[in-house]
Amino acid sequence: MRIFVSMGDPSGVGSEIILKSLSHIGKKSIPVIVGDMRVIEKTKEVLSLETPKKFVDYGEGKPGDVEFIDLGLVKDVKYGVTSAEYGYASYQYLMEGLKRVLSGESYGIVTCPINKKSFQMAGIEYRGHTELLARLSGLTDCVMMLGNRKIRVSLVTTHVPLREVFGLLTKERVLRTIQITYRALLELFGIEKPVIKVCGLNPHAGEDGLLGNEEEIIREAISRANELGWEVSGPHPADSLFSKRDCDAYIAMYHDQGLIPVKTLDFKRTVNVTLGLPFVRTSPGHGTAFDIAGKGKADPQGLIEAYKLAEKLTKNLLTKSYSQF
């Protein structure tokens, strides 16, 4: 089994966390790194890092090796800067890995962090991996879930300004997020009877309309989910809901509402999973970390967790016939 790993922004910590992760990943699969060997070699030199596994060309690896697809897009490596060159390179790493996955060469990809500003500078219209992967996979929607060993949270809206959240909330969108999350818990994560709790949008979940009426939309979606036989409750006040981890996943209405509790509980091990795709995609829960790039301070634990989860979910995908819906 092969798991592809796109290197992410060449100016960020992607190459560093890959190098630091190699002794911890690939025990049940062959990692395939898609990136620039020039960036890897530069990071090894700057940080005096040893490579615990042998790099070989794609298709020539055996257990214990790391396969590499070198796109050769980066002329010079500078850490911690935004540029169109780096945005384009990180986009092409992802596209190459995705092409391989969609062709059936693998069913799992782990993506190291990209920089949204560099993407924009390169003329790439997408705000993040989730939106890009959905569009390139021919889907109208998928779900961004972040989780760790303590908690999982799916988001109804993702990388949008807070002022836009109110206009984006519909019964159909909330229900779709519940549906995709429920199916993934059942089929990808192997949870026999998933339990989901849903956040309200407003303080105190609207307090019977005194603080907002968007909860009626959420309530209608939950009611429909219950009619379908799923164990879903809410809308619950978000300020107290996460104090008890007594369900398999939470549904949050917007980015920070859901990700603050996840990253507070275990930031280093937080993993981003895109649900609803016909393949497995995971990513570390952090960004490019430009402030520490090239300084040897990056913690690889997020990538290690993302890779191991990709291995587990890919195995489940292959053995349990995960259905697109």
What is the tens place of the pLDDT at every residue in 272-291?
A: 999 999 899 999 999 999 99
Confidence at residue 325, expressed as pLDDT on a 0 to 100 scale: 32
Lowest mean pLDDT among 35-44, 60-69, 110-119, 122-131: 122-131
Confidence at residue 320, expressed as pLDDT on a 0 to 100 scale: 66
- Banded pLDDT at 319 (limits 50, 70, 90): confident
Interatomic CA distance for residues 211 and 215, integer angstroms: 10
Provide mean pLDDT across the span 120-142: 79
Confidence at residue 127, expressed as pLDDT on a 0 to 100 scale: 66
Confidence at residue 324, expressed as pLDDT on a 0 to 100 scale: 38
Beta bridge partners of 3: 31
Residues 137-169: pLDDT tens digits?
Answer: 777 788 999 999 999 999 999 989 999 999 999
Confidence at residue 323, expressed as pLDDT on a 0 to 100 scale: 42
The rounded percent of the chain whose pLDDT value lies above 70 is 98
Higher pLDDT, 145 or 128: 145
- Banded pLDDT at 292 (limits 50, 70, 90): very high
Confidence at residue 59, expressed as pLDDT on a 0 to 100 scale: 92
Residue ranges and CATH numbers for the domains of the chain are 1-139+277-325 (3.40.718.10), 143-266 (3.40.718.10)
Strand order in the sheet with 271-275: 55-57, 66-70, 30-35, 2-6, 108-111, 280-284, 271-275, 143-147, 152-155, 249-252, 195-199, 231-236
Over the chain, what is the mean pLDDT? 92
